[in-house]
Structure 1
């Protein structure tokens, strides 16, 4: 039997961010693979969700899926947080009017280091959602602990971990898995690098130029060792890294995936040998395709993910004076023993999938 679900997210590439362009499609694919045929109604999370909307959904649908993505953020461009304090633009009265199950799926606590706390309405709103959500999940343990500070005890409710669906591409998209497997025998050495430039005052330390120059100099050394450098832009503003690459003498290729289709984004990451990234999805997507990753940590969520998969060594703080040396050591290890890191990647990625399968047993029981 076909289920009818509402998917609240950022649809149709509304915020011009490659990670989100892919994420919401992959989320639906995960549900369809686990639960069977689904008829979806796509609702933009920034669009007002009021009591009238809730009543219509109660009458016509079996449940509401919210997420994934970094929805717990107060300052996203295009969002109105007056009603909720976070990215879902719904009133508390509307949430309380919902009578079908809410599935909060693989969401992220995206508050930056040093960023202002959520407004007072957030605590009341997220508790209203918690009461209505028999499956309430965040995409890493650090996000779980952070959101739990706002939650009151609620009978028969718990905060669960559900990894971002983009970490599951290997199992969900056989065609792109085959592309990645085929690429591995091509003998190329393509290194993707991504630097993020949203909220730079919250991302970087005391000397942004120094930190980015340090990263660019590492790319120059990698190029001198035979790597082809691809500057990957998930948003157009990520091109701001290029003056640093030019200053370091890097002969790089710009790969702007801002406007690519979901399939195009996966095809790109299937054809790299490793990915160094500052944006979350510049790491989660290649991980989902079992590409070696090294995270440039300018947001806690990057470290949270590495801790959860048991490989904190696959990353370094943007402020670390030894950042360049650590990247080069990672690349050296990859070149010397690629099978070792591929085995570790396969084990970690498989664990994400197995946890997802267990979570869908719970979701299946409440829908």
Structure 2
């Protein structure tokens, strides 16, 4: 069996635990498929950075295929750019120049409720991306159906379902997974209601207060209340919850270089989570936690529906929100053993779908069949993976700094040429603004 060399456009970060774990699980899923003999990700780059001709040349000369994703990449105002209209920052011209097949993997339509439609050149770009792909898999059925609206009709059937690899953590980390946990009254919470939501009528203050009121009531009834912020933006709710004095434990899953596998360890024995982020559903679910969420984004309802419990994405704008939230938490607690078994069956279906998809990708690229199987990382291999992740992040930061430096130098060079053409002395050509730009550049160049 030929091991294919893959290039991965990803987003490595310690600032948002969902993204921290997500892109590593994509790599582990590909590299663990078929016993580790089918795929190898040999290089990666931040997909939000502008793709350059030099990078396209590297891809064309050194790899067999290109993985894009996963994540909620179909969003226009995170990493806004006029090259694509979504988060992958590659122009139509350079996209056409890529000679290797694309694999769009576990990507989501991340448009917020009430958010404006995608602008040009999104429709042209997403159709070209699909045409150049051997696989175009979206992470929930809601994304599959909503993105089809932008796809030319003859190709719509090529948009398929590929679960987010974070939902498969019990298969990726079987040594950390616990099939049975104590049946205890314990819940952890994460919450962020951001500007995009408040713009369309979500009342962040009321939603936070309503959740805290319910959690305080549960605490008075003997529940153990914990807090699990996934990103800096979650800290406002986290701090308010701690001020009540009911938080018995906290696990801050962002902002440090040792966080990669902390979340999956934490969720391994957590009965219930209440969150607003998509990955505050998916990552806990992957380790067996029952995921309750607020319907503050289409993706939370999409995921709850995919796992057979649309009612677990609760509308915080409803008049009876507090009562519904309190009742739902108690109901899933009462049914915890039964629900964990049910969700284990759902995870098995998602894993089987992923194995079939990877087998199809391999056959599409090689013409050879691959028997679906999977080899997870061992604990020592995970430690090595964490070090490699950190090194890759450092390399990406250097590349970003170099790119900024090159762009700044190019701008300075043009201004120097313009000043010289006008006959201005080179010692006095520049206004103070340009001199200020040159000083930090000089410091960088000199070390």
Structure 1 vs Structure 2 CA RMSD: 2.2
CA shift in 2, pair 1:203/1:322, >3 Å: farther
Q: Deviations over 1:49-108 (max 9, x none)?
A: 1344223212110100011100011122xx252211111110111111122110000001
Secondary structure at the counterpart of residue 292 of structure 2 = strand
Aligned with 1:47 (options 38, 46, 49): 49
Residues 1:237 and 2:233 aligned together: yes
Greater displacement, 120-129 / 191-200: 191-200
Aligned with 1:209 (options 200, 205, 210): 205
CA distance in 1, matches of 2:320, 2:245: 20
CA shift in 2, pair 1:276/1:333, >3 Å: same
CA contact (8 A) 2:66 2:103 kept: yes
CA distance in 2, matches of 1:324, 1:163: 31
Alpha-carbon distance, 1:131 to partner? 0.5
Structure 1: unaligned runs, 5 residues or longer: none
Greater displacement, 243-252 / 262-271: 243-252
Instruction: Name 1:360's counterpart in structure 2.
Output: 358
Alpha-carbon distance, 1:204 to partner? 6.9
CA contact (8 A) 1:213 1:245 kept: no
Taking the TM superposition and a 5 Å limit, the aligned residue runs for 1:311-326 are 311-326=309-324
Alpha-carbon distance, 1:284 to partner? 0.2
Alpha-carbon distance, 1:163 to partner? 0.8
CA distance in 1, matches of 2:128, 2:7: 18
Alpha-carbon distance, 1:240 to partner? 1.0
CA contact (8 A) 2:188 2:272 kept: yes
Alpha-carbon distance, 1:333 to partner? 2.4
Alpha-carbon distance, 1:252 to partner? 5.1
CA contact (8 A) 1:73 1:87 kept: yes
Residues 1:111 and 2:111 aligned together: yes
CA shift in 2, pair 1:251/1:24, >3 Å: closer
CA distance in 1, matches of 2:358, 2:286: 18
Secondary structure at the counterpart of residue 96 of structure 1 = helix
Instruction: Name 1:193's counterpart in structure 2.
Output: 189
Taking the TM superposition and a 5 Å limit, the aligned residue runs for 1:216-231 are 216-231=212-227
CA distance in 1, matches of 2:163, 2:140: 6
CA shift in 2, pair 1:52/1:243, >3 Å: closer
Alpha-carbon distance, 1:156 to partner? 9.6
Greater displacement, 244-253 / 193-202: 244-253
CA contact (8 A) 1:287 1:293 kept: yes
Alpha-carbon distance, 1:317 to partner? 1.2
CA shift in 2, pair 1:158/1:224, >3 Å: same
CA contact (8 A) 1:278 1:297 kept: yes
Instruction: Name 2:3's counterpart in structure 1.
Output: 2
Count how many residue pairs are aligned between Structure 1 and Structure 2: 359
Instruction: Name 1:91's counterpart in structure 2.
Output: 91
CA shift in 2, pair 1:21/1:251, >3 Å: closer
Aligned with 2:71 (options 62, 69, 72): 69
Taking the TM superposition and a 5 Å limit, the aligned residue runs for 1:140-219 are 140-154=140-154, 158-177=158-177, 180-181=178-179, 184-185=181-182, 189-202=185-198, 205-219=201-215
Q: Deviations over 1:14-37 (max 9, x none)?
A: 6x1110000000011111121425
CA contact (8 A) 1:245 1:252 kept: no
Instruction: Name 1:132's counterpart in structure 2.
Output: 132
CA distance in 2, matches of 1:341, 1:330: 13
CA distance in 2, matches of 1:205, 1:249: 30
Structure 2: unaligned runs, 5 residues or longer: 366-447
CA contact (8 A) 2:179 2:288 kept: no
Residues 1:310 and 2:308 aligned together: yes
Alpha-carbon distance, 1:39 to partner? 3.9
CA contact (8 A) 2:227 2:247 kept: no
Instruction: Name 2:445's counterpart in structure 1.
Output: none
CA shift in 2, pair 1:52/1:142, >3 Å: same
CA contact (8 A) 2:113 2:197 kept: no
CA contact (8 A) 1:190 1:229 kept: yes
CA distance in 2, matches of 1:300, 1:201: 11
